[in-house]
Structure 1
């Protein structure tokens, strides 16, 4: 028995060094090329797809880290190819690259609007087939061709794709991931995707040379996984309130006393959605709460007067309600449930959902009533009672004389 235990211990000790063998992968890190962004466009010929991959250039990244001027070139590059499918275009790119392409660092996917109108299903299909591709990567629609975004001058980031990723992470633009779109498939494949344009401007950081910059121009509307319309920037704000994505936002209202502008910073926001069946119809109640700080003011309004603060809150609530209702109205007009209210129906009213599921679009347009209940509060008004430049009235001027 003692001999057995001794042999077992020796066997365990003998196997332990195998755990120290390190990585068993046959492909070294320096033989890989990590893609950070994927641009997908419709090709010049019908049924053709153009794929553009953006990635860091390892040789130039090393030069930058060591403080060596690498000839003034960008630390990133792109490669493009076309094919009858994304997979074929990808293999054609791989055939011309000495490193193995890896999708583990892909955080951004941009789709051209022409291809989006044809349908984004091939893009989602390709993403789900790549084991290393992360479903939490952000997806955007580009005005025009998506690959033009790769030519943007990244002033504050090292790569153009980082600008998009940070905008989505900060919720400055509609935050839509591949997971969100895949989860919408059981509910007719409707959804919202942030829309980006590219403009040419003169850049001070580049010594006055012209360069391309990104602009948030609203949101693309998907119906059956196809682009069917757009939300404007203000309508996008309403949609972001419904989707509980409104953070660190600035809201401008007109002063209820003199009509001048007051800027309010939203530092806390939350949205709750409840459903209630009323006969043969369903009421969807959207309750929005927001805590705001006065950011700046062109109004002579007295911020220490509780009555005037209540007037500001009322004006803010009216604006929030109007924006949210416009986004909801647009949804019903297109028959696109891009807020996935169908999932709420399935959860809260399962028996009714079974009846409506096969004809959900018609019921959504005709039998759903929305009720928007905003509740915004002004928490902080700043250190001064009213604007320091508050004009002197004629009566006050006479008194001073």
Structure 2
């Protein structure tokens, strides 16, 4: 009994000490950081960067929608300036009386000018700090990030939460923004040496618009793609399970095709010491709108399938040509296909890949299947 008494006593004492709540912080004393905007500021010394950090703060009552005091706003935007993001965060303690918590951070917005300069260093603290999550949304502002954070939406009290929900909905339903949209995903792409595309956000007074994407070569933005061009990109990378396509028929009629699923395969071959990429896109969906055609026939359905395939093929080829010629940014992962299946060629041309990518030949095949036409009577 004596041999067991000492360990048992130690366990009892430890459980009493370790189970205490000496370091707890009451929820009403917490300030939650919901959104962050980062912009570049002009610096007196060219070699030293200078950032403006705009942080959106809120408290538990605002998140629950139970703000009873009319003098308390549901959120508070505060801006600080410094030579690093960490310095900007520390400077906030001179302006607020409560400790900010980053566990609920929803979105990081990067200003356009800073994005063109490079975002690896500004994002580092969001990956390094243990309070931050890798699933924080990441978007690029058309203009300044501060304007996005300060938008006042009509129906939601916390703008950062509004932007986060919009990003999730837009990715699934519209396909007009890139699928990749988190800090962690961008960091993984960057460390793998791959190029990226991040959703574009445009601020207005009472709303924001998510449409298109910002193209990145490593960590520097090189240009924009429109929403329609992003749709074509998502056909290629096989991440489109929603959205729609409109085809125009004779006599000013049109038909709307609702996408239900798509699959893309990319095969790389070497021809005359040049890479050739074969892209096959297989699409299935339903007819969402077709006028009052009460006499649908198999021939009409096949004609619509051919028109859809032709339109999508043209759109995809235009986007590939634009990205190859203007940006030399491999957002289609062609280089990864070469690395997997033609490693010797990839190893020999890896350093010259932007130029090789620019001159690569791409062949596109699209097969569309209409599975349902809906009720016609």
Match of 1:190 in 2: 195
Closer, same or farther in 2 for the Cα pair 1:322/1:72, shift >3 Å? farther
- Which of the two has higher C-alpha Rg? 1
Higher deviation after alignment, 157-166 or 214-223: 157-166
- The correspondence for 1:313, drawn from 305, 314, 320, is 305
Match of 1:373 in 2: 365
Secondary structure at 1:354 match in 2: helix
Match of 1:181 in 2: 186
Q: Could you tell me how far apart the structure 2 residues matched to 1:30 and 1:268 are?
A: 46
Alignment of 1:23-172 (within 5 A): 25=23, 29-45=27-43, 47-61=49-63, 64-65=65-66, 69-71=68-70, 74-170=73-169, 171=171, 172=174
1:268 deviates by 2.1
Closer, same or farther in 2 for the Cα pair 1:348/1:4, shift >3 Å? farther
Kept in 2, the 8 Å contact 1:346–1:353? The answer is yes
1:313 deviates by 1.0
Match of 1:207 in 2: none
1:218 deviates by 1.7
Higher deviation after alignment, 10-19 or 42-51: 10-19
Closer, same or farther in 2 for the Cα pair 1:273/1:165, shift >3 Å? farther
Secondary structure at 1:184 match in 2: helix
Closer, same or farther in 2 for the Cα pair 1:363/1:60, shift >3 Å? closer
Q: Could you tell me how far apart the structure 1 residues matched to 2:305 and 2:214 are?
A: 31
Kept in 1, the 8 Å contact 2:43–2:50? The answer is yes
Match of 2:323 in 1: 331
1:6 deviates by 4.8
TM-score (norm 1): 0.82
Output the aligned Cα RMSD: 2.7
- The correspondence for 2:213, drawn from 197, 219, 224, is 219
TM-score (norm 2): 0.86
Unaligned runs of 5+ in 2: none
Q: Could you tell me how far apart the structure 2 residues matched to 1:73 and 1:373 are?
A: 58
Q: Could you tell me how far apart the structure 2 residues matched to 1:72 and 1:314 are?
A: 61
1:49 deviates by 1.0
1:39-87 Cα offsets, whole Å, 9 max, x none, are 011124463211011122345456x33xx64317642221111112222
1:302 deviates by 5.5
How many residues in Structure 1 have an aligned counterpart in Structure 2?
366
Closer, same or farther in 2 for the Cα pair 1:87/1:112, shift >3 Å? same
Secondary structure at 2:330 match in 1: coil
Closer, same or farther in 2 for the Cα pair 1:158/1:289, shift >3 Å? farther
Kept in 1, the 8 Å contact 2:31–2:57? The answer is yes
Kept in 2, the 8 Å contact 1:241–1:271? The answer is yes
1:341 deviates by 2.7
Higher deviation after alignment, 152-161 or 24-33: 24-33
Match of 1:343 in 2: 336
Kept in 1, the 8 Å contact 2:294–2:376? The answer is no
Unaligned runs of 5+ in 1: 201-211, 386-401
Match of 1:393 in 2: none
Kept in 2, the 8 Å contact 1:303–1:309? The answer is no
Q: Could you tell me how far apart the structure 1 residues matched to 2:2 and 2:195 are?
A: 65
Kept in 2, the 8 Å contact 1:187–1:340? The answer is no
